[in-house]
Structure 1
Amino acid sequence: MSAPARATYHHGNLREALVEAGLELTRAGGPSALVLRDVTRRVGVSPNAAYRHFADRDALLAAVAAAIQEGMVARMQSARGGRRAPPDPVRALRAVGLGYVDFALAEPGWFETAFGMSSALPGGPAPQDVDALPPADRLPAPLARLVEALDGLVEAGLLSPRRRRGAEWPCWSAVHGYALLALGGPLRGQPPRVLRREAERTVDAIIAGLLA
């Protein structure tokens, strides 16, 4: 996933151009860089023009975050070995975790934009029952891929339905926490090979715990 050199506006394509400009700004500056006036200036329209497609800055932020999350899913697919990789439920779950960390370390501005603010996470308010997730099309794309990978373990007979319940949260917490430690915590500045090694240990440990 890459941001364009400069977003340009063509008739009938303003919404996409605004999102692309938002991607360009947040890649380097994170969510604080998403200023509506700056976005519209890059596209070459007045700030009022943005309100034809987005109710406010938060609505644009959510659209930018969703685009970033789709890019993270592509990184997860790459970690798995591509679309033609043979189906392997454990490998699929491992790719979700490592793809999440790889993306966070490669694109810290986008990572903060997509996962650092609750307003950036689509899907509406959290359910009262944390195990009762909304349908996949209402989940952030990386979470939907995690759900799919965990369900694949159940279908393969590797994970019982009882242990599957709520497993999204320890899995996501492990990789998200690791990403934060690597980006701004005590692991910051470690060589890439060390960060990758520890990321693999983190992901493998959470999978081993699930399957124990």
Structure 2
Amino acid sequence: MAADVATYHHGNLRAELLEAGLTLVRTGGPEALSLREATRAVGVTPSAAYRHFGSRNALLAAVSSAVHDRMAEAILRQWPEQEGRAWDRLYAVGMGYIEFALAEPGWFAAFFTEPGDGDRSPSRVPPPFALLTEALDGMVEARLLTPQTRLGAEWPCWAAVHGFAQLAIAGPLRGRSDLELRDLADQTVRAAIEGVSARS
């Protein structure tokens, strides 16, 4: 029989519900998420979830934030630690973003989910976006961008990689081989970096 209280899970019910939500979204996208399915997966009644998530939207917001964190972790695995690698860091952000999206389309579909009554802080900057701005600031420090060309550069960079990911997942690039997508992604990221670098 399913439990009614979070103490059954020794205080870990919120984390377990979040993991269940991530699993549901990973396999079926945001549409697959429901409190009923999440609670069924962890073996509690739906009423037990309301101690931690007041609605499906609150759980979806938490899932979306967790996806941001996981994408940032994937980007950081490619992030050069050495100083003086500003261009490589910006490239790592772009390629890491696309590769995560292609590897995890269900999670990627939840990336920009903004449910109205979610529990995500409106002031929270998505960690992948924070890495993008850090990399662009590093380009200025390395004198590969001027302060003037840096202004607003995050938006064309983000638009390029996000748009490519959408084309590859659900657009005309869908079904291309991994090798071809990798080559096209490389072209896209390089073109985005060259584009913002060349702005007058």
Check conservation: 2:84, 2:142, Cα contact below 8 A: no
Check conservation: 2:72, 2:131, Cα contact below 8 A: yes
Aligned positions of 1:5-16 closer than 5 A: 10-16=9-15
- Change in Cα spacing, 1:110 to 1:121, as seen in structure 2 (3 Å) is farther
- Change in Cα spacing, 1:19 to 1:100, as seen in structure 2 (3 Å) is same
Q: Deviations over 1:17-67 (max 9, x none)?
A: 010000111111000011110101111111111111122111111111111
Q: Does 1:118 align with 2:102?
A: no
The match for 2:105 is 108
The match for 1:174 is 160
Check conservation: 2:78, 2:92, Cα contact below 8 A: yes
Task: Tell me the secondary structure at the aligned position of residue 99 of structure 1.
Answer: helix
The one-letter code sitting in structure 2 at the alignment partner of 1:205 is: A
The one-letter code sitting in structure 2 at the alignment partner of 1:51 is: Y
Quick one: which of 70, 91, 96 aligns to 1:94? 91
Q: Does 1:65 align with 2:64?
A: yes
The match for 1:78 is 77
The match for 1:51 is 50
Q: Which residues of structure 2 form unaligned runs of 5+?
A: 1-7
Once residues 11 and 121 of structure 1 are traced to their aligned partners in structure 2, the CA distance between those partners, rounded to angstroms, is: 22
Shift of 1:86: 5.1
Shift of 1:123: 5.1
The match for 1:163 is 149
TM normalised by structure 2 equals 0.88
The one-letter code sitting in structure 2 at the alignment partner of 1:20 is: E
Q: Does 1:149 align with 2:149?
A: no
Which deviates further from its counterpart, 28-37 or 70-79? 70-79
Q: Does 1:37 align with 2:33?
A: no
Q: Percent identity between the aligned chains? A: 54
Shift of 1:118: 3.0
Task: Tell me the secondary structure at the aligned position of residue 111 of structure 2.
Answer: helix
Once residues 101 and 122 of structure 1 are traced to their aligned partners in structure 2, the CA distance between those partners, rounded to angstroms, is: 24
Check conservation: 1:182, 1:188, Cα contact below 8 A: yes
Moved over 4 A (4+): 84-87, 120-123
Q: Which residues of structure 1 form unaligned runs of 5+?
A: 1-8, 125-133
Q: Does 1:200 align with 2:186?
A: yes
The one-letter code sitting in structure 2 at the alignment partner of 1:49 is: A
